[in-house]
């Protein structure tokens, strides 16, 4: 009855091997895939063929293939970018000013269109997405920026509720949801404050709450700590970690060297519009090459 024994096997984590043709290579860089030990599961009771099917990789949640972006003025912001991000990954996007980080983020929410190549989100080809379907894409994606982008004449509660784009009458029905996200970001009791009555960290929390109100599956943050002091920046990172632990994929563009170095998460480095490094558990800079 060997098949009924719980079994343990080392497998390549299927969702971390998007380039399954060759799981050791990611974006052309040698990459050691994360491995897991499967827990004894019901798959142990399945015939061998079915067990193989159980570890077949899922489509990456975010996939860019040979993406180029040339702005109308001729600036080439991204060139031949191929990047795959599995569900629930946490990725830092680093690189010097003008490298193309924000452009990449803007392509993912279809604020800009790629000039060449393809972008898929959960299997959906963004180049084929009709304008009227954009709200569905954007509901899947929560987004925060360096400058918070709150509406100054609305209270904290209204800023978050406004993301749901409903009438005043219906707002009452959304109260529990708005309160839930405000409590996730630790802003209970601040509902009736206006943005200029809040600290920078609190304003970023409101922006995060607003981004969470649709229960997004992907969370994009473009330099979310750019205007914050180090202690407040760490609080925001803790929040992003919590969001990630709840199952949301997080992609954060940042210049914050300390945070990237301490966190040891996946780092995608971009320079001159090209990916120059893609490392699991990476640092802000590439490890120095040993000199002989």
| Interacting residue ranges for ligand ATP, rule: CB under 6 A | 71, 73, 75, 77, 95, 97-103
Taking the C-alpha atoms of residue 106 and residue 83, their distance in angstroms, rounded to an integer, is: 15
CB of 96 to Mg ion, least distance (A): 10
Select the residue interacting with Mg ion from 102, 204, 225, 244 (CB under 5 A): 102
Q: How far is the CB of 102 from Mg ion (least distance, A)?
A: 3
Structure tokens at 153: 């004449």
For residues 248 and 217, the answer to whether their CB atoms sit within 8 Å is: yes
Specify the residue, 98 or 135, whose C-beta has the smaller distance to ligand ATP: 98
Least Å distance, CB 51 to ligand ATP, is 44
From the list ligand ATP, Mg ion, none, pick the one residue 71 interacts with, judged by a Cβ distance below 5 to 8 Å according to partner type. Answer: ligand ATP
CB of 260 to Mg ion, least distance (A): 15
Q: Which does 183 bind (CB under 5 to 8 A by kind): ligand ATP, Mg ion, none?
A: none
Residue 77 binding partner per list Mg ion, ligand ATP, none, with a CB distance cut-off of 5 to 8 Å that depends on partner kind: ligand ATP
Instruction: Verify binding: residue 103, Mg ion, rule CB under 5 A.
Output: no
Question: Mask of contacts with Mg ion, 174-213, x by CB under 5 A?
Answer: ----------------------------------------
Nearer to ligand ATP, 95 or 216 (CB): 95
| Smallest separation (angstroms) from ligand ATP to the CB of 222 | 7
Q: Which own/partner pairs from 256-261 qualify as long-range (CB within 8 Å, at least 24 positions apart)?
A: 256/225, 256/226, 257/284, 257/285, 258/230, 259/92, 259/225, 259/233, 259/234, 260/92, 260/94, 260/284
Q: What's the CA dihedral at 77, 81, 120, 134 to 10 degrees?
A: -10
99 touches which of ligand ATP, Mg ion, none (CB within 5 to 8 A by kind)?
Answer: ligand ATP
The DSSP letter of residue 190 is -
Read out DSSP for 204-241?
HHHHHHHHHTT--SEEEEESTTTTS-HHHHHHHHHHHH
We find the least distance from the C-beta atom of residue 138 to ligand ATP, in angstroms, to be 19
Question: What is the spatial distance between Cα 127 and Cα 137, in angstroms, rounded to a whole number?
Answer: 12
SS3 content of the chain, % helix, strand, coil (to 5): 35, 25, 40
Q: Are 26 and 278 in contact (CB under 8 A)?
A: yes
Q: Please list, in sequence order, all residues whose beta carbon lies within 8 angstroms of the beta carbon of residue 9, skipping any fewer than 6 positions away.
A: 37, 38
Say which entry of Mg ion, ligand ATP, none residue 28 contacts (CB below 5 to 8 A, set by partner kind).
none
The contact set with Mg ion (CB under 5 A) reads: 101-102
């Amino acid at each position: 009855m060997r098949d009924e024994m719980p079994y343990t096997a080392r497998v390549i984590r299927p969702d971390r091997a998007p380039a399954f043709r060759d799981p050791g290579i990611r974006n052309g860089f040698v990459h050691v895939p994360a491995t897991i030990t499967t827990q004894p599961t019901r798959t142990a009771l399945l015939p061998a063929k079915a067990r193989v099917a159980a570890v077949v990789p899922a489509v990456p949640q975010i996939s860019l293939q040979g993406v180029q972006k040339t702005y109308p003025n001729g600036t080439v912001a991204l060139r031949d970018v191929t990047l795959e991000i599995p569900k629930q990954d946490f990725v830092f996007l680093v690189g010097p000013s003008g490298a193309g980080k924000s452009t990449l983020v803007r392509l993912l929410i279809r604020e800009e269109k790629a000039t060449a190549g393809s972008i898929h989100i959960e299997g959906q080809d963004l180049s084929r997405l009709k304008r009227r379907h954009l709200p569905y894409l954007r509901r899947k994606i929560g987004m925060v920026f360096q400058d918070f982008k709150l509406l100054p004449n609305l209270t904290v509660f209204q800023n978050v509720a406004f993301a749901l784009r409903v009438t005043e009458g219906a707002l009452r029905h959304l109260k529990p949801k708005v309160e839930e996200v405000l409590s996730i970001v630790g802003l209970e009791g601040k509902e009736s404050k206006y943005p200029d009555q809040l600290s920078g960290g609190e304003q970023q929390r409101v922006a995060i709450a607003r981004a969470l109100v649709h229960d997004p599956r992907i969370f994009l943050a473009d330099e979310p700590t750019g205007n914050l002091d180090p202690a407040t920046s760490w609080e925001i990172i803790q929040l992003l970690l919590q969001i990630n632990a709840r199952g949301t994929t997080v992609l954060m563009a940042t210049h914050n060297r300390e945070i990237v170095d301490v966190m040891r998460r996946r780092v995608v480095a971009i320079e001159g519009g090209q990916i120059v490094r893609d490392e699991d558990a990476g640092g802000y800079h590439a490890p120095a090459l040993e000199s002989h």
